[in-house]
């Protein structure tokens, strides 16, 4: 299951979500789709389940949704904001 690091604060905003890396003071802003993806991951959904939800709710292909989810998760992991099993 994906988890935020203990030193990362997360706040929902009108346009999505903001993450604060308390180790270095850097802010990360996610748009509404990014926030939806991250929240679903934090709630225990798999990337495949999120792909299904996104393709049902938005005009996006499965391949594009899966690639975007993978890219976001990879970016957040490389930035040290989340950990995954």
Give me the pLDDT at residue 1, please: 86
> Does 45 map to a domain?
yes
Give me the pLDDT at residue 82, please: 95
Q: What is the mean pLDDT of each run of 10 residues along the chain (85 residues)?
A: 94 97 96 96 96 95 96 95 86
> Does 51 map to a domain?
yes
How far apart (Å, rounded) are the C-alpha atoms in residues 42 and 63?
A: 22
Which tokens belong to 20? Answer: 């604060």
> Does 11 map to a domain?
yes
How many domains does the chain contain in total?
A: 1
Give me the pLDDT at residue 84, please: 79
The pTM of this model reads 0.91
Q: Order across the sheet with 16-21: list the strands.
A: 8-13, 16-21, 26-31
The domain of 9 spans: 3-79
> Does 84 map to a domain?
no
> Does 85 map to a domain?
no
What CATH number is given to the structural domain containing 29? Answer: 3.90.930
């Amino acid at each position: 299951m994906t988890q935020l690091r203990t030193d990362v604060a997360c706040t929902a905003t009108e346009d999505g979500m903001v993450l604060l890396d308390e180790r270095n003071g850097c802010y990360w802003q996610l748009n509404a789709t990014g926030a939806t993806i991250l929240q679903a991951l934090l709630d225990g959904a798999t990337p495949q389940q999120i792909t299904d939800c996104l393709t049902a709710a938005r005009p996006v292909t499965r391949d594009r949704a899966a690639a975007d989810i993978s890219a976001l998760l990879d970016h957040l992991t490389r930035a040290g904001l989340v950990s995954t099993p």
